[in-house]
Chain A
């Protein structure tokens, strides 16, 4: 019942992996692990067993990803919308999560050996306190590992994440750390729960549903979306290869689209800085025209000071988040 299934690929799988690796491989893959309950119905077992099998499949998939050089995986484990399910099912899922995270703490050496860093993203305050504490311990224990990353989205929806990012920026304004004019796409991205990860290159959803269900809506704007009809507990290495093949086919177009977007973002930031500077100079010079040289210098210094403000703000935000976890682990809370 471990987080990382030992065991390797067979010969044909290894050969296929090597062939795929000759082309572009996504560095970060997101999974919507859908189909556990339908699998349970199909196999005529309890729902809880379906979810348990789902976790097993996650461990196996992580192993395949590492073998294919996919260093970062984000999974949608529990949505805020899932709280609408029956109390029994929700309690069962919370219990399963607590078991798995506790097991994770027991496997620390194994995780250290593989260099796995586990992050849990979402509104953790919605979870039972004992689960929050176990999660905090697991996150802090693997914090410094950096060979590969597993992000588990728990009590998460994308809209909540975006709203929380906006709330953090508003907090920054309230504290006088940043100005409303500093708010940009780039800053919002850095205030999301996923700020420590690059955007996913690919998102895979299993069980045949063709929607995003409020998962990483902001981050997957330029990701390759792959919808596969296989149920999650039946996911195979070949399904993963098929998804990577799709990614490779869309790769160039997506790179181009991302590049275009980056350029237009940079342009927008420049324009925003320019208009702020223009306003500032207007105030200072009281209507007398300013020469191009001074304008350019003012622009440089404004951009530098904006970047400094933003750096300071992001540092404060990171500190706030770290404190949340360390407070959960500290003995004072337990008492």
Chain B
């Protein structure tokens, strides 16, 4: 009997994987055709996703219309009921695509989001920091053109946090994060506090949330993300800033590959509709 159940289970998972693969394939190939019949067919295919896994946002077709979009960014940002201060881009996919991430960063800035962080759980972006920076600057030129000079981007890598002098004239901040900024950051703060206790500079009983929080802000001044956009099929935070995400809204998108501005805007609109009660 157990064998029958196992067979059915394998069949079920094979079907789910097939479904997922088909949808990804349709998305990347057939949307370009723009034919109405194809759109309807794919919409029908996507319905099971909507039924089965309600949290995944469906991706809109990439219209490819760049003309006139430059003027929309600011207006779109103002049209939203609320805009996140800090958006975390959590890339839970195996192969990061720098141009797509750069697009996302540039669009976020253009819409009015002042702090964008980019994270992956293997520290790939941390290691390729300069490549990401180049890509972002390039996209900034392409997407925003003449307006691009209005937005100055500040790249914060780990060392430079300690000096605050860059903060003066920047419009937006891009920070690259890795798992070291999460749990390890908390452990470092804990070690500092324990050393202070050992030196009799502090009593153990005085350590509370406020003390730990301010110590964490001192070494890595990262504002709490209001919105975390997660890209990839894996449903997990994968070690992203555990202390900071206590009230973050998580919006999942299937992939960051070929992501369009409309997809980002859709996610921001969902965020604007979220209601926070803060425990009350």
* Contacting pair A222 B236 (CB below 8 A): yes
* B44 in the interface (beta carbon within 8 A): no
Q: Are A163 and B209 in contact (CB under 8 A)?
A: yes
Q: CB within 8 A of B13: which of A23, A167, A228?
A: A23
Select the stretch in B79-87, B110-118, B241-249, B253-261 that faces chain A.
Answer: B241-249
Q: A19–B204 contact, CB under 8 A?
A: no
Asked if A210 contacts B55 (CB within 8 A), the reply is yes
For the complex, what is the distance from the CA of A80 to the CA of B278, rounded to whole Å? 11
Q: In the complex, which of the residues B5, B6, B179, B234 contacts A250, with contact meaning CB atoms closer than 8 Å?
A: B234
A226 contacts the other chain (Cβ, under 8 Å)? yes
State whether the Cβ of B183 lies closer than 8 Å to any Cβ in chain A.
yes
- A5 CB to nearest chain B CB (Å): 25
Interface presence of B129 (CB below 8 A): no
Q: How far is the CA of A287 from the CA of B243 in the complex (A)?
A: 42
- A81 in contact with B242 given A211-B247, A221-B183 (CB within 8 Å): no
Other-chain contact of A220, B16, B55, B194, B237 (Cβ < 8 Å): B237
Question: How many Å from the CB of B212 to the closest CB on chain A?
Answer: 5
A183 touches B194 (CB 8 A): yes
Nearest B residue to A191, CB-CB:
B190
In the complex, the answer to whether B197 meets A19 with C-beta atoms within 8 Å is no
Query: B207's contact among A84, A163, A242, A260, by CB below 8 Å, is which?
Result: A163
**A212 in the interface, Cβ–Cβ < 8 Å?**
yes
Q: Is B2 an interface residue (CB 8 A)?
A: yes
CB-nearest residue of chain A to B187: A185
Nearest CB on B from A93, distance (A): 12
A166 at the interface (CB under 8 A from B): yes
Tally B residues with Cβ within 8 Å of A.
Answer: 63
Please pick, from A83, A185, A242, the residue contacting B184 in the complex, using a CB distance under 8 A.
A185
Q: Chain A's nearest CB lies how many Å from the CB of B214?
A: 12
Say yes or no: A214-B208 contact (C-beta < 8 A), given A22-B6, A81-B279. no
Name the residue of chain A whose CB is nearest to the CB of B251: A210
Most buried by A among B52, B183, B213: B183
> Are B279 and A84 within 8 A (Cβ)?
yes
B204 contacts A248, C-beta separation under 8 Å: no
Q: Chain B residues near A227 (CB, 8 Å)? A: 54-55, 250
**Quick check: is B265 within 8 A (CB to CB) of the other chain?**
no
Pick from A18, A163, A169, A257: contact of B238, CB under 8 Å: A257
Asked whether, in the complex, the Cβ of B5 is within 8 Å of the Cβ of A18, the reply is: yes
Q: In whole angstroms, what is the CA distance A81 to B246 when docked?
A: 12
Q: Are B54 and A211 in contact (CB under 8 A)?
A: no
A67: min CB distance to chain B, Å = 14
Contacts of A183 in B (CB 8 A): 187, 190-191, 194
Majority-rule SS of A interface residues: helix
A82 is an interface residue with CB less than 8 A from chain B: yes
The answer to whether B13 touches A222, judged by C-beta atoms less than 8 angstroms apart, is no
Q: Is B96 an interface residue (CB 8 A)?
A: no
Instruction: From the candidates B213, B233, B237, name the one contacting A225 in the complex (CB within 8 A).
Output: B237
What string of 1s and 0s marks CB contacts (under 8 Å) between B207-243 and chain A? 1110111000000000000000000011111111011
Cross-chain contact A169 with B194 (CB below 8 angstroms): yes
Q: Does A261 contact B (CB under 8 A)?
A: yes
Kindly state whether residue A173 has any CB partner on chain B within 8 Å. Answer: yes
Given that A84-B280, A220-B237 are known contacts, is A173 also in contact with B2, CB under 8 Å in the complex? no
- Knowing A22-B6, A160-B209, A210-B249, the reply to whether A217 touches B243 (Cβ < 8 A) is yes
B280's closest neighbor in chain A, by CB? A84
Instruction: Kindly report which residue of chain B lies nearest to residue A174, judged by CB atoms.
Output: B204
B190 touches A166 (CB 8 A): yes
Interface check B33, CB cutoff 8 A = no
The answer to whether residues A260 and B122 also contact, given A23-B13, A220-B237 and a CB cut-off of 8 A, is yes
> Given A159-B212, A211-B274, list of 17 further CB < 8 A pairs?
A18-B2, A81-B280, A159-B213, A167-B205, A169-B194, A170-B202, A173-B198, A174-B197, A183-B187, A185-B184, A210-B274, A220-B236, A223-B236, A227-B250, A250-B234, A253-B234, A254-B236
In the complex, 11 of the A-B residue pairs with CB atoms within 8 angstroms, ordered by the A residue number, are A21-B5, A159-B209, A166-B207, A180-B198, A185-B184, A188-B187, A212-B250, A248-B13, A249-B13, A249-B16, A257-B236
Q: Which residues of A contact B (CB under 8 A)?
A: 15, 18-23, 79-85, 157-160, 162-163, 165-167, 169-171, 173-174, 179-181, 183-185, 188, 209-214, 217-218, 220-229, 242, 245-246, 248-250, 253-254, 257, 260-261, 264, 268
